[in-house]
Every structure is written in C-alpha cells, then in structure tokens.
Structure 1
Amino acid sequence: MNRRTTRTIAAALSLSAALAISGCSSDSDAGDGKPELKVSGGYMPEPIDDKMAGAFMVIKNGSKAADKLTAVTSTLSGDVTIHETKDQKMQQVQALDVPANGELKLARGGDHIMFMGLKNKPKVGDKVTVELRFEKSDPVKVELDVKERTYQPQKTN
C-alpha cells in the first residue's frame, strides 16, 4: 500500500469510529441534547359558545433535560395562550416548566391552554389540532379530541 491509501483508510476508520461512538449514549436525551417529549390524553371540552375554550393534556419528559412550554398555535383561534392556576386564580404566563424525567399536567382547575375568539365552535367528536412550542424541543403537533363539557379523564397511578 502506498502512503496515500494508508492515510485514506486511517481517515475512514477514524470517521467510522467517531460516528459509532457518537451514536452510543447512555443518556436518555435525544442525540442533539433536546428533551424527549410525549403528549397524551389531549382533549378540549365542547365550548359553550365561540368566545373561548380550554384544552388539557399531559406532556411527559423522558429525558434528563428540562424544557418549557412557551407557545401554542391553532387554526381554531389566533389567540391561544398558556395559563396557570395558583390559589384558585387563573393567569396568563409566558411559559410552563416541563421538568426533566417528569411531566407537565394541563388539567381542569389547574394549568391549561386557553383559546379566545374561536373561528368556529367545535362539536363533540371533532378534533382540534394544536402545535406546542418549546424552549428546547422541536414543535409537537397534537390532535385534541372534543369531548362532552362534563368529561373527566380517568385517573391513572
């Protein structure tokens, strides 16, 4: 083998080793360091009118990196905001924490998403698409099931 071939083979082996090592990680974060978020149980109670509606879900973070829910968009409304409830008072906030190896629960009587000035009034059985935006993670699209106004999700332990 000549010197050039030897260098080419050495470079190829080095690159292969680097790629193999970077693909192996014991950390549960995604390869790019972003938290791993999964959304479940998303629903919207049928709105009473076309003025406002709420949405609820659970955002699970299966990684060691915390994140924040920073915005929500939907074709249902141009005015979708994030709200927290503290001491039985609701207020709009800029973000809600999604803790590392934890979850953010958006539920009735607690933190939630609020839609104002609906473009139409969804009915039970419809689906409403929202896009959740985060500080670190890529946006996540979620389909919310429109449920009866009295709907309460099953509690799981």
Structure 2
Amino acid sequence: MTPRKAHPLPGHRPSRSFARSWTVVAIAAASALALAGCSSSDGADKEPAADAKPQLSVTGAYMPEPVTKDMGGGFLTIANKGGADKLTSVTTESAKSAGLHETVDQKMKMVKAFDIPAGGALKLERGGNHIMFHDLTELPKKGDKIAVELHFEKSAPIKAELDVKAPTYNPHSH
C-alpha cells in the first residue's frame, strides 16, 4: 500500500467530489477565457453581409516619376470595411486618359474593372494591377502630386492624390 502524501493544511482533507468540482470549474473558466480571446466584442472580426454598403478608403497612393510624358503608372490600395464593390474607372486632368490595367505573364492588358472584396482590399502595385496614364499634360517630378478621381460600381467617387516618387520607388523596399 502506498502512503498518502500529507495535505498542505494539517488535519484537513478535501473530499474527492470537492476536488472534482474545482477541476470542472477551472476547466470551464479556462475554456471561457480561451473563447473570449478568439473574438472581439465590437464585431470587428465579423465579415460584412453580402448586401452591406461598401466602406472604401484609399492609402499608399503614388506614381513613380515617369521618364516621358507618354505614359505613367499609378499605384494605391483601396481598403473596404463593407460590402463588395468594383473600381470601374479613373479620371484625371493630369493626362489625356487613364485606364485600369492588369499584368499577366509580364504583359499589360486593359480591363473594365477591378473587384474590391467585402471586408478586403484591392492592391494596385508594381508588377501587377495598376492605373495607366496616357499622354500626361506635364511631366511630373518627384515631390509633385497627381490628382485623380476613382469611380466605383456602387460607391460615390473618391478623390485621391498620388505622390510622385523616385522612378525606382517601391514601398515594399522602403
């Protein structure tokens, strides 16, 4: 027979049912804390409903300084905290025309629109989807700003300014 270990409180031995009750309470409390850590009380982790109104904002807008007035590229991110939308066009007074382009297998192709997912973002970046400016009215220099208006399928237009950066600028390396 194995001797029992002494209890830390002399003369006191909890019953087995008492010990089991505390074990159950401890497990329940730990589970509740773990579940609470997986969600937020403000609903920020919930995906927007499919029919929710888009909530768009623009960040990181820039244009690398173009070499000639013939063409230039524009890059930015459109974040969306609401329902899905589409970027359908871009207008500017700084170029004769501006269009939406995608790059597939290192070839550019004009597209009619870019999807902006619900609760997601559309990233226009070097080597991928971008805004293409044709026949710039003036050759922009580093430090200038190019005003654009972004047009969407559901949302009102958004005005944004693209900061003209060095020709080799890449936000991923800065």
In our comparison, the structure showing a higher alpha carbon Rg is 2
1:88 positional shift:
2.1
1:55 corresponds to 2:74: yes
Match of 1:38 among 46, 57, 79: 57
Q: Deviations for 1:76-105, whole angstroms, at most 9, x for unmatched residues?
A: 012100001122221000000001111100
Query: Percent identity at matched positions?
Result: 54
Residue 40 of structure 2 is matched in structure 1 by none
- Partner AA of 1:58 in structure 2: T
| Cα distance between partner residues in 2 of 1:126 and 1:118 | 13
1:97 corresponds to 2:123: no
Asked whether the equivalents of residues 47 and 119 of structure 2 are also in contact (C-alpha less than 8 Å), the reply is no
Match of 2:161, SS state, is strand
| Cα pair distance change 1:139/1:46, threshold 3 Å | same
Q: Which runs of 4+ in 1 moved over 4 A?
A: 26-29
Q: CA RMSD in A?
A: 2.0
- Partner AA of 1:98 in structure 2: I
Aligned pairs, number: 128
| Cα distance between partner residues in 2 of 1:135 and 1:153 | 28
Residue 129 of structure 2 is matched in structure 1 by 111
Asked whether the equivalents of residues 85 and 153 of structure 2 are also in contact (C-alpha less than 8 Å), the reply is yes
1:71 positional shift:
0.5
- Listed as ranges, the gaps of 5+ residues in structure 1 are 1-25
Match of 2:171, SS state, is coil
- Partner AA of 1:151 in structure 2: Y
1:28 positional shift:
8.6
Asked whether the equivalents of residues 100 and 111 of structure 2 are also in contact (C-alpha less than 8 Å), the reply is yes
1:39 positional shift:
0.5
Asked whether the equivalents of residues 47 and 118 of structure 2 are also in contact (C-alpha less than 8 Å), the reply is no
Match of 1:73 among 84, 91, 97: 91
- Listed as ranges, the gaps of 5+ residues in structure 2 are 1-42
Residue 144 of structure 1 is matched in structure 2 by 162
After TM superposition, the score normalised by the length of structure 1 is: 0.76
1:88 corresponds to 2:102: no
